[in-house]
Each structure stands twice: as C-alpha cells, then as structure tokens.
Chains A and B, each alone.
Chain A
Amino acid sequence: MSSAAHYSKSKDLQLAAVIGGVAIAAGFCLYWYVQIRDTLDMLEMAYG
C-alpha cells in the first residue's frame, strides 16, 4: 500500500472518530440532561 493510501485511511478513521465522538457526546449530554431534569421535576412535584 502506498503512503498516500495509508494516509487517506488514517484521515478517514480520524474523521469518523471525530464525527462518532461528537455524536456520542451529544447523545450522552441529551440523555442524561433529560433524565436529571425529569428527576428534579418529580422531586419538585413531591416536595414543592
């Protein structure tokens, strides 16, 4: 494999890692934000 092809694969994987990583971080923040918000809402309803 030429070095150009190797570089292209590395760039591809790094781009995929950035897209996947950002999507995971966004999903993580959204999921736990909703769970914590719902818990706080329930606590507020229960205890004022």
Chain B
Amino acid sequence: MPALPFPRTLATLLLLALPLGFALTDLRLLAWDAALPVFEWMGRSWFGVIGKTWGVAFALVQALHLLSMALLGGAVLIADLHLLGVVARFADSDTLLTDLHRLFRISLWVVLPSGFFMACGVSMKVYYLPVFWYKMLALAVGIFFVFLIRQPLLEQGTAAVRPAVLRLLAVSSLMTWFTVAATGRWIGFSG
C-alpha cells in the first residue's frame, strides 16, 4: 500500500494547481522573460543555424515531424474511437490498446526531437507567439495524462474500468491531441 491513500489523485490535483497558480500570478510573465535567453541560444545553436540556413534540412525534418505526428494522431484516434465503441469493436481491447500505445511511444520519440529542431530554426518567432505556448501546454498535459493516468489505468485491463471512465478518457484524450494538432498548424500558419 502507498504511504498516501490516493497518490495518483493527489498528484493530478497538484499538477492542476501548479499551472493554475502559474497562470493567475505574475510568475507566468517572469518565466516568459527568463526563457528568452534559452530561445536566443536555440536560434544560435547548430540546429538553429541549420534550420535557418538550409531550407531543405528544415523541410526534411518537418516532413519527419508531420509523419510521426500522423502516426501519433492515428494511434490516439484508433485507441480513443475504440474506447468509444466506434472502431474495431470486435478486437481484443487490451491487445489493441497495448500495440497502439507502443506506436504512440515510438512516434513521440520522433515528434519531440524533430519538434525541438524546428523550434530552433524559428526560435524567436515561436517565442513571441502565444499559440506556441498553448501548444506546449497541451502537449505537456497530453504526455502527463497518457503516462501518469491513462496507460496505468488501461494496463489494469479495460474490464476493470467503469465504461463511463473509459469514455471520459477517450473524449479528453481526443480533445488534448486535437488541440496539439490544431495549435501546431496555427504556428505554421502564423507569419
């Protein structure tokens, strides 16, 4: 038995309280100011210089980023629509969800470094774009939600979880990754 009765619930409440406190105080602006040297360094780094100088390098990495996002989005969509009872209704849920989570993990390992490379190439543009920070927030929420709550819960077997909770998991997961994808395209669309 853990030392605290509901460790995951308490961790979730803490993870919700921290960004709320951050957003509602001046800490947000202080952190934004403090992040400027990091973004300036990103622009001066090898990745930043390559991304800004050789369009072909940026395009190739962006293609890799978009394809791995497609893979990640596909894994999320199939898993969540399966949990909602829309696709693969007769498949073995636990096997399907385990396979899709593996695909999700692999694609995330491509998405993160390729996204970092791209951010280096346009570091000052994204630093001043509010939508970039919302994308990072949605991405962090998505990653925390998957690895701290969703997957540990699904690993117990879908039969052990209330159907309403499974549906809530699916809907909230779709909302998170929809926001990550939409804000990502918004960054691309912004000057």
* Chain A residues near B (Cβ < 8 Å): 5, 8-25, 27-28, 31-32
B41 near A: Cβ within 8 Å?
Answer: no
Q: A8-B1, A10-B160, A31-B134 are in contact. Are A15 and B179 (CB under 8 A)?
A: no
0/1 per residue, B162-179, Cβ < 8 Å to A?
A: 100100110110011011
Give the complex CA separation of A27 and B144 in angstroms.
15
User: Does B25 interact with chain A (Cβ within 8 Å)?
Assistant: no
| Contact residue among B6, B169, B179 (Cβ-Cβ distance under 8 Å from A17) | B169
Compute the total of residue contacts between A and B using a CB distance below 8 Å: 76
Offer 8 A-B interface pairs, CB within 8 angstroms, sorted by A.
A12-B5, A12-B6, A14-B153, A14-B165, A18-B165, A19-B12, A20-B145, A28-B175
Query: How many residues does chain B have at the interface if contact means C-beta atoms less than 8 Å apart?
Result: 31
* B1 touching A15, Cβ below 8 Å: no
In the bound assembly, the distance between CA atoms of A20 and B150 in angstroms comes to 10
Contact of B175 (CB < 8 Å), options: A11, A13, A25: A25
Rounded to whole Å, the gap between the CB of A38 and the closest CB of chain B is 11
Please determine whether B134 and A17 come into contact, CB atoms closer than 8 angstroms: no
Q: B residues touching A (Cβ–Cβ < 8 Å)?
A: 1, 5-9, 11-13, 16, 134, 141, 145, 148-150, 152-153, 156, 160-162, 165, 168-169, 171-172, 175-176, 178-179
Give the docked Cα–Cα distance between A39 and B128 (Å). Answer: 20
Q: How far is the CB of A21 from chain B (nearest CB, A)?
A: 4
Known: A14-B153, A15-B6, A18-B165. A24 touches B172 (CB 8 A): yes
Q: Which among A14, A19, A23, A24 is the interface contact of B162 at CB below 8 angstroms?
A: A14
Task: Using CB atoms, name the residue of chain A closest to B12.
Answer: A16
- Tell me what chain A mostly uses at the interface: helix, strand, loop, or mixed: helix
Across the interface, do A19 and B16 meet the contact criterion of CB distance under 8 Å?
Answer: yes
**Shortest beta-carbon contacts, A-B, top 9:** A21-B172, A28-B175, A24-B172, A16-B8, A21-B168, A13-B153, A16-B12, A16-B9, A15-B9
Q: A13-B8, A14-B162, A17-B165 are in contact. Are A23 and B152 (CB under 8 A)?
A: no
In Å, the complex CA distance between A23 and B168 comes to: 11
By CB atoms of chain A within 10 A, which of B12, B16, B145, B160 has the most? B12
